[in-house]
Amino acid sequence: MENKKRWYIFVLVLLGVYFVIMFIFVLYPSMKNDEREIFLMVDQDAKWKYENQEWQDIPVTEKDSYNWQKFDIYQNNTLLGNYYLLDNDGWYIYDDDRHPVAKDGVSMLAIRTNQEYQYGAFTSEEVSESDMTYVEQVLNEHNITTRNFSTLEMFSFDLDSDGEEEKVFTVSNIFNLDFVTPPRNIFNFIFVVDDNKILPILEEVDTYDNMYDHCKAYVDYVIDTDGNGNYEIITGCGYYSNQRQCIEMYELERGSYQQVKSCRTN
């Protein structure tokens, strides 16, 4: 009888531990995700919201979700402040007394959320000779022979909050005006190097004759929108004769970067 009682207690303890683990790792994250409310403005080209567990474009019928709403506003890798936004063929910023606040250029990230978030400030740097080995590996994997770049840069940042910085590379030859002989291919590559492993973000390769159908890619912002320690990477892409920018977002999921918001589809 005593052994049977101990067995019941053992089973109940195991069930209790199981339910605690399920709550911490499954139920609570799901509940938290359901409660996420995020509005994100990126430059003049992206107005997004997080709803129904996905990122969506904000329709024109919902302008009141950002016009005359308060946002944390970042410019030039620095917090400008918490101000009201107004979109009127361009962003205008106002303080609590509805006085205009001066902007420094047009590039801007603004976020309004009920979640803890972290903005990631970074500074681009030249690619060193040793780091060029990663660039060469990516180019060779895509049979790229030209080494005449329009963009070749990187920055270091702890994207997954593990205490060690990853390296983020941007490599492109699109809109390079110094070609003596046109190359066979044009390309955009953005990738992360984590523990010497290359994690692709953006990979675009096309023939030279299609160059002006493409845009030149860059990393625009780095931000952890939900405070989970993994930073989303927001990329931009500029067209040659059009002020429109293609703004997209990528997120680390199970060891690789997945596109969670495209400029082409909702």
- Domain ranges (residues) in the chain: 1-35, 38-115, 132-261
In degrees and rounded to multiples of 5, residue 2 shows phi and psi of -65, -40
- In the block, tokens 């060779």 appear at 140
Tens of pLDDT, residues 175-219: 988 777 889 999 999 999 999 999 999 999 999 999 999 999 999
Ranges of the chain whose pLDDT falls below 70: 1-34, 265-266
Cα–Cα dist 231/257, whole Å: 11
Name the burial class of residue 104, with classes exposed (0-12), middle (13-18) and buried (19+) by CB atoms within 10 angstroms of its CB. Answer: exposed
Give yes or no for a contact between 46 and 40, defined as CB atoms under 8 angstroms apart: yes
Query: What pLDDT is stored for residue 177 in this prediction?
Result: 80
Q: What does pTM read for this prediction?
A: 0.85
| Residue 133, token pair as written in the block | 């080995």
- CB neighbourhood size of 65 (10 A): 14
Instruction: Give me the helices (H) in 55-203, please.
Output: 132-141
Give yes or no for a contact between 157 and 165, defined as CB atoms under 8 angstroms apart: yes
